[in-house]
Structure 1
Amino acid sequence: MSSAMALLDDSAHQPPANLLPLAQIDELSIACVICDSASDPGMPGAGQVIRWHLAAIPATAQGALIDTDPVSYLSSLGEELDDREKALPMLRDIATRYQEQYVAHGRLPRGWVERPVQLACQNVIIGLSAFAHDAAFDGLRVPAFLTCEVPHLATHEGNRALCALMLCDAYQNGGTMEIRFGTRHRSRTIPPALKRYARTHGILLGSEDPCAILPAESRELFLASTPMPDELWARAVDLMDRGLLTPERICHTLLTPIWSAIELDYILAVSSRAASILAGGSSAELRRTRLVEQEVARAALMAGMLYRRVSIADRSHNATVATVHEDTRTNVNWSIDQDRGYILFSGLDRALLPWLDREHAQPVIDLGSGLAVIPRALPTPVDWTLARSLQHGAAAIASALLVPKDVAASVPADIAVLICPDRLAEIDIEVERRMQRARTSRS
């Protein structure tokens, strides 16, 4: 105990006085229980277990919840270590058999074949498992599920990522989303690390069956394992509450990813045909309906391309600064006006704004109020009026139309234009590719 307290005192961040060390998580972090509620308001409450990092990390990542109470945490640690000794040889055998029967011959496995999964980050393995569809209960069979915490990853990130992979596989195989652990001949209880992760999200696994995650629990866990911005979450919950979309469809769409977060947010915000688009679009015989869906998908696709471009600060023009892509993400946020169909970007750097057409009017230099981007594959006079009203209205928001490369010439010269590098035909090909993925994403 004295050595653990000494490690806490020597940490880069001064720990609160009400932390009691429980166990060492890895070489650079310690599990601590909060002894009373007089800590930082941003910290979990008394009696909960947090992870305290000894190295210098962002303050927002310090003190993350790792379990809801010390008794559950310590008992799960013992179970996890025992399970690891038994599961590792089994996973090694599955991987060897898979290599010999499929990889060595260039064959693809069927859904019922046990497929080994290895999850790594920066050459460090953080998760091992195996998946197979079991027709006996029309769900996913998971022989073993092993994860670990490492200093350079957020708390429970290994559990979240491997859980997301497992749930995506369960959805793709077309079963009931029920997940059973162990082999066909010998069941195993739900992995303690997975139960610990679920508890931090208020989900109690194994209450009805200690060896299985039931479909309702899987859907809750799927939503908890899928990162979503707040506005997208609100729109998704609204559609789920109205029975228009299922949790697994939304989560699988984001995690695959068929559509990125901003693309999905735009589709849900502006289109009443969102459920059809996420399912792969209407039949080609319904020409008008399909054209409406295609126009929304085109706009969402261009918005996603723009966001990926502006969220990476490209400093390659500066010869004195080495480009490190992992460190060049910028804090660009978006908000969608669902009534008028534009995206308000905030946090943009005017000097790094891409795709600006020099032959059209320029948006105001001051982007302090953000930039209203109006993505349109085939802009109409109504869209031109919207751009002018945003630019010259009382709020005076900088605005620009985002259009394909071969459509820019049709926009009036007094309207700012961001030119997507793809032509309309190329955008349509990508939209159809994504629609096809959505149609075939579930067996």
Structure 2
Amino acid sequence: MSKKYKRILVANRGDSAVRVIRACREMGIETVGVFSKGDRGALHTRLADYAICIGDVQSKDSYLNAYNVLAAATDYKVDAIHPGIGYFAENPDFCELCEECKIDYIGPGSSNIALMGDKVRAKRVAKESNIPVIGDDSVEINSYEECYQYAKQMGYPIILKAAKGGGGKGIRIVYKEEDLFRALELCIKEAEKVFDSGCILVERYIEDAKHIEVQVLADQFGNVIHLGDRECSIQRKNQKLIEESRCTTLDEETRRRMYEGAIDICKNIGYVGVGTIEYILEDNKTFYFMEMNTRLQVEHTISELITGIDLVKEQIQIAQGESLQIKQEDVLFQGYAIQCRILAEYFKDDFVPDFGIITRFDMPGGFGVRVDSAYEADNIVTPYYDSLLCKICCHDQTKGKAINKMLRCLEEMRVEGISTNKEVLMNILKDTRFLAGDYATTFLDTFN
């Protein structure tokens, strides 16, 4: 039975919170914004109908403090909590706490989050759905000796991943035996710190691969559709920098199999909500399941631009118990869209984050341009949160036209007071390999 939310708490900050608050406002739903002492007066707190401070500047004391978030939700008598992107967006324990407090969690159920958040179990689900995975089995290592024996059998290079991780964290690539011990040690420490679990998955590392993902939508009545694919191969430190929709070099038969695989996984586990199936593309026809993100993605914006479908509103309607009003045949892909992440970083110093007072913050505009941000002039960029300042998206008929539009936008953009990655983004877009689609996830390793 469907219901209508009257008030939603947005358990996030920055452009993620702004994105959700704006969708709620258009749907006639009141919002409660939460903020740390470091975000007092931030844009998302001004856009929300109500705003409450939930702790100190450190995320663990505020945005990751489940007790404070739920106390605010209870105090303001909200119907649901939207986790946004990051923080509690893929946390099954927080989802269960919401259920115990009789507050809807806008996202999949805790069992789905836990299942697909475990890379070992997720690979097994993919295999059961007849989707190729790297290796015959999912290998979770428990000691250096196990890792050593696996690498000796499979050969180098190998990749170590936090089994409970995501977002490009807890990953190490090992090219030779003498580097294995140190890499494993660092990977375990990072996994324990970021994900509270030292479980590590080991796989053969595929060099010169592309990173392709498929956006899905599913309701509680078993209806599942896809909203096309995104190419996310331009990355730094295993984190996405430029995303495109759709991939311009993907073989159509391979694309069809990726779409079918994504839908099959959702149906096999009874998935409900917005999600993304991520693949590694070894060549134009050979791909492997990598992971599933059981949340809204940073790059969801470009899928919205080519389909005209508001994913946040769809999330909320699904959580209210409504069935999908969109059928697969209703989804039409119009043109091409590209997103650049504008980060407060020094590129020449190996992407070291910058922070300080923004003295100027002028964003571009125009036909086919979308900017998602929560920063303004005179805001302070602190070292406590993600370095993302904004996302600029451009939509046009072709990739070439969209690139030209993005270059114009980056030239117009003026951010002063802190360093940004603007220059490296422009250099990438001007590279002939980028226009041709001739690149892989290792592109920035050799980029000058």
Q: TM-score range by the shorter chain?
A: under 0.3
Which one has a bigger Cα radius of gyration?
A: 1
Q: Using CA pairs below 8 Å that are at least 6 residues apart, which structure has the higher relative contact order? A: 2
Which one has the bigger strand percentage?
A: 2
Q: TM-score, normalised by structure 1?
A: 0.26
